[in-house]
Structure 1
Amino acid sequence: MKTKQEEKYQALLQASMKVITEKGFEKASVSEIVKEAGVAHGTFYLYFTSKNSIVPAIAEYIFDKQLEELKSETADTNNIWEQLNDLINVTFDITQRYKELIIFCYSGLAFFHSFEKWEDIYLPYYQWLEDKLNQAKERKEIDASIRTASVVRMIIGVTEHTAENLLLSKERVDDQNVSQFKEDLFKFIKKSLV
């Protein structure tokens, strides 16, 4: 059960995402956010030092959702290839679902916060995949000489880059095109691990 503080934080976060998606960051005001959240104006500042500080909170929310969905999708398998296929699918799904907010977070973190915050946000995701790769090494599914700590960043990086280049561009893409990119990406990652 969530505490009142957690409920207020989540209400502010959800309201921020809604208002920012509808109006854009520059036009979104703290007043509109607290009104949408149904909390007093001063409550915002108990959780965020400024409107700018909502940026990493939104990014963290998206990554938490991604990792939560990934853990759920991979709960019933110990096969690294199924897990990596799920990683690709979840990454593409999350990128599509949170398209506007991801674009906002990239620009927001670039301007208002250091990129070091990204590492903090990604850390649980990196650790999850590193654990999966180490287990795959033990099962002899992947090359035992691979340095998993660095490979994890490469896999996540190429997966996100592919999803974002395809889904965040202004060009329309169809489902068949997306499926082909996912398939090619999976083959590329698999070849790098065996």
Structure 2
Amino acid sequence: MTDSQSYSLRKRGLMDTKTKLVNAAMAVFKKKGLEKTKVSDIVKQAGVAQGTFYLYFSSKLSVMPAIAQGMVLKMREELTNTVNPAAPLPQQVDQIVESIFKTVDKHRDILAFLYTGLTQSADITKWESLYAPIYEWIKQFLQRNCLSLRAGMNAPYTARLLIACIEEAAEQVFLFSHRDAQEAARQQEETAVFVKHALGV
């Protein structure tokens, strides 16, 4: 085995251990809640020694950015899988809204403790950088369609505003209230109408 192959295997092992810890933390947070979870619970769930945890994270709250990063990647993947670039532009906007609503609904439990954890630590300052892949995806969408959108639009700023608007609308339904499916659909539809007006579609 060459040195580069050995390094690659070690790196993969380290990544696998970190992923196991992140997945274990999510499972325990969902089961016990943020306050009652201890590092010992996380390592037990992950099947690793407690000392191993501190090779990657300084505390249970320091796992939050890694969980947030995973959620952002899931949202980007959902956008890529849902939005059809060949569809008419209004339909693509509908698909963007649908995709974000679907992601928030599917992962509502994780998002609930994630927001709590991030606000309790200094890691809330990392939120903007963690969202960079989503902002970039929306920015590229806006730039591809700039000739069909409102004149003078600033794509980077508009991308941030769109994500904030759509995600907040989805969270109102799925995180902060107990609305039924019909009301959720109505909220999604109204959000899409609002976004299309804002974009000049």
Q: Could you tell me whether the CA contact under 8 Å between 1:92 and 1:163 is conserved in 2?
A: yes
Q: Could you tell me whether the CA contact under 8 Å between 2:65 and 2:123 is conserved in 1?
A: no
- Paired amino acid for 1:154: L
So what's the TM-score if we normalise by structure 1?
0.90
Segments of structure 2 that go 5 or more residues without pairing to the other structure are 1-8
Q: Could you tell me whether the CA contact under 8 Å between 1:21 and 1:101 is conserved in 2?
A: yes
Aligned equivalent of 1:99, options 90, 100, 108: 108
- Paired amino acid for 2:50: H
| Matching of residue 174 in structure 1 with residue 180 in structure 2 | yes
Structure 2 partner of 1:12: 21
Which consecutive aligned stretches of 4+ in structure 1 deviate over 6 angstroms post-superposition?
none
- Taking the aligned partners of 1:133 and 1:51, their CA distance within structure 2 comes to 38
- Taking the aligned partners of 2:88 and 2:18, their CA distance within structure 1 comes to 37
- Taking the aligned partners of 1:77 and 1:48, their CA distance within structure 2 comes to 43
Q: Could you tell me whether the CA contact under 8 Å between 2:67 and 2:114 is conserved in 1?
A: yes
Q: Which moved more, 1:19-28 or 1:88-97?
A: 88-97
Structure 2 partner of 1:193: 199
Matched residue SS, 1:115: helix
State the 1:37 CA deviation: 0.9
Q: 1:114 to 1:54 in 2, by over 3 A?
A: closer
- Taking the aligned partners of 1:24 and 1:173, their CA distance within structure 2 comes to 23
Q: Which moved more, 1:182-191 or 1:88-97?
A: 88-97
Segments of structure 1 that go 5 or more residues without pairing to the other structure are none
- Paired amino acid for 1:128: W
Structure 1 partner of 2:66: 57
Structure 2 partner of 1:151: 158
Structure 2 partner of 1:160: 167
Q: CA RMSD in A?
A: 1.9
| Matching of residue 141 in structure 1 with residue 143 in structure 2 | no
Aligned residues: 191
Instruction: Say which one has the larger Rg.
Output: 2
| Matching of residue 125 in structure 1 with residue 134 in structure 2 | yes
- The percent identity for this pair of structures is 33
Structure 1 partner of 2:33: 24
State the 1:144 CA deviation: 3.1
State the 1:190 CA deviation: 0.5
- Taking the aligned partners of 2:195 and 2:85, their CA distance within structure 1 comes to 22
State the 1:115 CA deviation: 3.1
Matched residue SS, 2:152: coil
Matched residue SS, 1:4: helix
State the 1:136 CA deviation: 0.3
- Taking the aligned partners of 1:168 and 1:85, their CA distance within structure 2 comes to 21
